[in-house]
Structure 1
Amino acid sequence: MSRLLTLMLVFCLAAPAQAEGFISRLLNKPVPGGVAVVDLGPATSAPTVRYQNKPVLVIHEDGQRWIAIVGLPLTTRPGPQEITLNGTTTLSFEVGAKHYAEQRITLKNQEQVTPNPQNLKRIERELAEQTRAYQQFSARQPSNLLFDKPVKGPLSSPFGLRRFFNGEERNPHSGLDFAANSGTPIKAPAAGKVILTGSYFFNGNTVFVDHGQGLISMFCHLSAIDVKVGDELQRGAVLGKVGATGRATGPHLHWNVSLNDARVDPAIFIGAFTP
């Protein structure tokens, strides 16, 4: 009898984990700069979801239920948040707290810290161009949500660091850095379409890839760009090479992931998130 009770207890404890699909377990990290997975329930067709008046990625998980995968900006306050379902219904979810460490960087080129007026105009123009890329929302479904690492190499600077350049605070670190030698191939972590390339003041040589429904990767500081706008990339396709262009102290890859125009921690998508 005790063996039977033990088996029943194990089953009961395991049932909730089985009810929650793989994607939910992988991605649901509802903290500022993280991702919230919200259960939308069953429906015959994909619901439409908006968060902060921006469209949200929706997928059919395990062929049973629809889920919304919501990107949370670093500025999100812990506590209750809401999404809108099909334009009428409001669903709430809870955001927890997360502490991000500081990073202090010394740059030899002071222009990379306090640009002159001419460079400021360039930076504003480039920021607007990249913002438009982040705001794109295509109908395609992402090929995979457990991403491959874009380069072989250890993780260096994590997402969300409060950054100080030459003692002056600037925007938090909006991506994940990989330590890699110059010339290391950079591969698409999921299939997607190249929607922007350019050489930018801070980011250097840069590639944007749209994976579908507002899920967008940005790769910067490249030494070479091997793709052009409009190219369709398969998962694992080489899009460029690691470099140190733009505001960089040495060769590395800076990788951004954006969801519903919110920069989120790429470590979530490769199973390397730390609470």
Structure 2
Amino acid sequence: MYRLFKTSHRRCAIAAALALLAWLAALPAAAGELPRARSVPGGVAVVELGPALVAPRASVDGVPVLVSGRPGGWVAVVGIPLEAAAGALYLDVRGEDAPPRRLEVAVAPVRYAEQRLRVAPGKVDLSPEDLARHERERLRSAEVISTWSAREPATLRMLQPVPGRRSGSFGLRRVFNEQPRKPHSGMDIAAPTGTPVVAAAAGRVIDTGDYFFNGNTVWLDHGSGLLSMYCHLSAIDVRPGEEVAAGARIGAVGATGRVTGPHLHWSVMLNRTMVDPALFLADAGRAR
């Protein structure tokens, strides 16, 4: 009798588990709005991971990747480095009750524009003092970039931080005084000095400071490796550790650092790589 009861109980448990998985699979995949997928260097890949009771963990080359969704279906939101070659990158996935797996993510080729600029020689050919300062700031930036907080962003759609014309697009390859530099890793928005700059999404201030190239800068952590950076500010209105809401003022447009005129340089980062901010903009998500 006990054996029959035990067998029947096990069958009921299995049936209940199967029913639960079927119900979970019917739920929507994403808890918040996702960025527009564009699987190219500097773009974002959205990779379906399937249903699971607990969110799986994902990484690329050992760097954690943002995972969003619900038990009915999880997705990995992967930032693709600008310097990545066309072909593929590999996403490692680990779940609580599933064996590790490796997923191939196709990366298509892309061609970005080129722009030639003339700037003061001291902003291109650095003096020993400026070079030493830049090296200190590079190490500090590396620490900021490695920030990872466990919280999931409420949404992966963002506001444009300042109204204005886009004066420099992501991926643009710039040549300063005939010297090639790395591709542009953000979006430039032209606006008069003093124009308010707002947080593109809710987050925590993780760094502020005056940098040689970026001028007055604010970094926000939105959770799970999603960061945003605001540069060349004339004023910084927040402090590290402060929580800010989407649309809250964090500073003002300026011309600090290496610039040719007042504008905001806005960058978005996923899994420690800069990606195209335009992929995160909501249809009507421009700052007023």
Taking the TM superposition and a 5 Å limit, the aligned residue runs for 1:40-55 are 40-55=49-64
Structure 2: unaligned runs, 5 residues or longer? 1-27, 284-288
Taking the TM superposition and a 5 Å limit, the aligned residue runs for 1:59-74 are 59-60=68-69, 64-74=72-82
- Aligned pairs, how many? 251
More strand by share: 2
Could you give the per-residue CA deviations for residues 223-261 of structure 1, whole angstroms, max 9, x where no partner exists? Answer: 000000000001111000000000011000000101000
2:33–2:155: 8 Å Cα contact kept in structure 1?
no
Distance of 2:150 and 2:200 partners within structure 1? 19
Is structure 2 residue 130 aligned with structure 1 residue 119?
yes
Taking the TM superposition and a 5 Å limit, the aligned residue runs for 1:93-242 are 93-107=105-119, 109-242=120-253
Distance of 1:170 and 1:94 partners within structure 2? 27
Could you give the per-residue CA deviations for residues 72-102 of structure 1, whole angstroms, max 9, x where no partner exists? Answer: 0011111122100018211112111110110
Structure with bigger gyration radius = 2
Counterpart for residue 9 of structure 1: none
Distance of 1:113 and 1:193 partners within structure 2? 33
**Structure 2 residue identity aligned to 1:187:** V
Distance of 2:203 and 2:178 partners within structure 1? 38
Could you give the per-residue CA deviations for residues 170-224 of structure 1, whole angstroms, max 9, x where no partner exists? Answer: 1111100111110011111110000000001000000000000100000000000
Distance of 2:52 and 2:162 partners within structure 1? 38
**Structure 2 residue identity aligned to 1:83:** L
Distance of 2:229 and 2:164 partners within structure 1? 18
SS at match of 1:202: coil
TM-score by length of 2: 0.84
Distance of 1:168 and 1:185 partners within structure 2? 33
**Structure 1 residue identity aligned to 2:213:** F
**Superposed displacement of residue 64, structure 1:** 2.7
When the two chains are superposed, the root-mean-square deviation of aligned CA atoms in Å is 1.6
Structure 1: unaligned runs, 5 residues or longer? 1-18
Distance of 2:150 and 2:88 partners within structure 1? 29
TM-score by length of 1: 0.88
